[in-house]
Amino acid sequence: MDFAGWGEILIQIAMKLLLILLLPFLSCFGAEDWRTHNKRADELLLRDHKIAEAIKEFDAAMMLEPRLGPQYWQRGIALYYAGRFDDCRKQFELHQTVNPSDVENAVWHYLCVSKQSSPAEASRIMIPIPQDDRVPMMQVDAMFRGTGTVEDMLKAANSPDSLFYANLYAGLYYEAQGDAKKSLKYIDLAANKYFVNHYMGMVAKLHYKLRRK
């Protein structure tokens, strides 16, 4: 074999070695890509209130990491505000497989079904939650199931965070019942007076903006 032939073989070997060395870095870039879509989705939903665009970013992230699909309760919330209630319901049913003790997941599933069908049907098929230790989540659960009242739930709130959640879910409950006036009253309290700076706090801000239109 002449020198040119050996040179070509050496170049091929060098390229393969370079690819092997770069694989861990390429993997990191791929992982970062879905995280970038996920971050952008949250920003579009909570900061810019661009719901359809946020869903596209969630979908892009899930395509890159399908195994994370059940984790995307945030996508379920976006689907609710997009009016895609069947997809919304399915997303929260999927999330239940990885988070079986979260009252909020059951509530958002209820909200999707109540829009798709009726509050009575939503209560009938509401996802069962064995226990959620956060106050006042079990009272929230009872309220939506029809075994507790809004007053009981509000009385159970005993901290800034629980007061936020109590008012948010009172507002969402009244919305599901078709009482827009009471719903806006409690959403206003959650989004403003009792606002807490976390994901659901920003959801309350989004809800307040949309319902004031």
179-189 confidence digits (pLDDT tens): 999 999 999 99
Q: Looking at the domain assignment, is residue 126 inside a domain?
A: no
Residue 190 belongs to some domain of the structure: yes
Is position 170 within any domain?
yes
pLDDT at 29: 45
On whether residue 2 sits in a domain, the answer given is: no
117-131 mean pLDDT:
97
Does pLDDT of 73 surpass 70?
A: yes
End-to-end Cα distance, the chain: 79
Task: Please check whether residue 102 lies inside any domain of the structure.
Answer: no
Alpha helices per DSSP H over the chain: 3-42, 51-64, 73-81, 85-96, 103-116, 119-124, 137-145, 150-156, 160-176, 180-188, 199-212
Q: What percent of the chain has pLDDT over 90?
A: 82
* pLDDT score of 22 more than 50: no
pLDDT band, residue 34 (cuts 50/70/90): confident
Count of domains in the chain? 1
pLDDT digits (tens, 9 = 90+) for 170-181: 999 999 999 999
Q: Is residue 160 part of a domain?
A: yes
- Number of other CB atoms surrounding residue 88 within 10 Å: 25
CA dihedral 138, 139, 143, 146 (to 10 degrees): 70
Does some domain include residue 62? no
Structure tokens at 82: 């997009």
| Domain boundaries, position 183 | 133-213
pLDDT at position 35: 87
Confirm whether 10 is domain-assigned.
no
pLDDT at 26 over 80: no
